[in-house]
Amino acid sequence: MDIIRLDKAQLHFGDQPLLDGVDLRVSAGQRIGLLGRNGAGKSTLLKVIAGTIALDGGERWQRPGTRIARLLQELPDDAHCSVGEYVAGGLAESGELLARYERLLAALAAGEETDLAELERVQHALEAADGWQLQQRVEATLTRLELNGTAQLASLSGGWRRRAALARALVGEPDLLLLDEPTNHLDIPSQEILQAVLARFEGTIILVTHDRYLVNRLANQIWEIEEGQLLVYKGNYEDYVRFRSGEEALLETEAPAGDLDWVEEYTPPPAGKREQRDLAHRRYVLSNALEDAEFRLQLLSLQQEKAAAGGQETRAAELALEIAGVERELAGLNEELERIIAIE
């Protein structure tokens, strides 16, 4: 069952086409990893799907009643509210009532002057909106993400505010969850909680991330946005790498079905050895980032050769700049990996 459709979608940024006649379908139960080079339009496509950016041409359709929630790259900066109030805000009007009720109760408990008539009015409004059941949902979501609802949001580190933002997105039980770099700012335990929560999420997910392990674990379909076009691949990230490698004839021999030994298996050290575990996970992430960068370098090199052979000098020059950037990225990744290996 489709919940979102784009038909012949057109969107431009200046002279650059971000979407050039794109057709796409988002169906219930899909878990989509959205890939593409920096600047290709991944975050913009998420906004189009969410309906927060209008198309220049084509049509966007959303199934009536579909609930969409987004986890943005930016951290929440609500300076004067508790974590519980912020998470409750994911419930729209009912959430605002819950947040107001919690503030009034907190003021009353602290001995501050409180408008009791306002407290009674909010309480009646919550009862009419089945607010107490929603309050239980907020508390359950806080517990799942190990958040303290009474803590002030402004006092939290970036990683904890990221957890709070995820809780706010999940509390409304969306049909479609849009995630833009969800592992940013998260430490290893928070990443593990994120993976567990998303693995249990029953709705549709569209995920933009540089964490290939997360994409590989969650996705059952890969979308790649490239030069205004959307390419769709069935399977997870390992399947995508295998297909693209064969498509570009980059591998001399194709690995047998199910043999994915170029994607490292990550097994963390025993619990309690936090420093060792963090190093092992970082080494794992770097190893996969290196493979991903090497793969992109090979693709870009092939594309540059084709552009040069076809007389597309401007495109070849642009690709040369991208190649130089990936080469610098590879050098940095190798340097960090060597440091971690030396420590281990």
Q: In the prediction, which pLDDT does 254 show?
A: 41
What length does the chain have? 344
Question: Position 159: which residue type?
Answer: G
* Tens digits of residue pLDDT in 196-249: 899 889 899 999 988 888 888 899 999 999 888 999 998 988 888 878 776 544
Quickly list H helices, the chain.
42-50, 83-88, 92-109, 116-128, 131-144, 158-171, 188-200, 212-218, 237-247, 274-309, 313-343
Mean pLDDT of 48-61: 93
Count other C-beta atoms under 10 Å from residue 285's C-beta.
21
Question: Position 35: which residue type?
Answer: L
The encoded tokens of residue 11 equal 């969107």
* Tens digits of residue pLDDT in 292-324: 677 677 777 877 888 888 888 888 888 888 888
pTM to 2 decimal places? 0.68
* Tens digits of residue pLDDT in 243-263: 877 654 443 334 333 333 333
From the list 175, 97, 85, the residue with the least C-alpha distance to 132 is 97
Rounded Cα distance between 70 and 75, Å, is 12
Mean pLDDT of 116-121: 79
From the list 38, 8, 1, the residue with the least C-alpha distance to 22 is 8
The encoded tokens of residue 115 equal 């408008």
Residue 278's pLDDT band (cuts 50, 70, 90): low
Rounded Cα distance between 303 and 317, Å, is 11
With contact defined as beta carbons under 8 Å apart, do 202 and 175 qualify? no
Rounded Cα distance between 281 and 274, Å, is 10
Given the candidates 3.20.10.10, 3.40.50.300, 3.40.50.970, 3.40.718.10, the CATH classification of the domain at 2-67+174-245 is 3.40.50.300
* Tens digits of residue pLDDT in 133-187: 777 888 899 998 999 988 888 888 888 888 999 999 999 899 999 999 888 878 7
Mean pLDDT of 96-107: 75
Residue located via tokens 């050039």: 20
Q: What angle do CA 139, 142, 146 make, to 5 degrees?
A: 135
CB burial of 112-136 (b: ≥16 within 10 Å; e: otherwise) equals: eebeeeebeebbeebeeeebeebbe
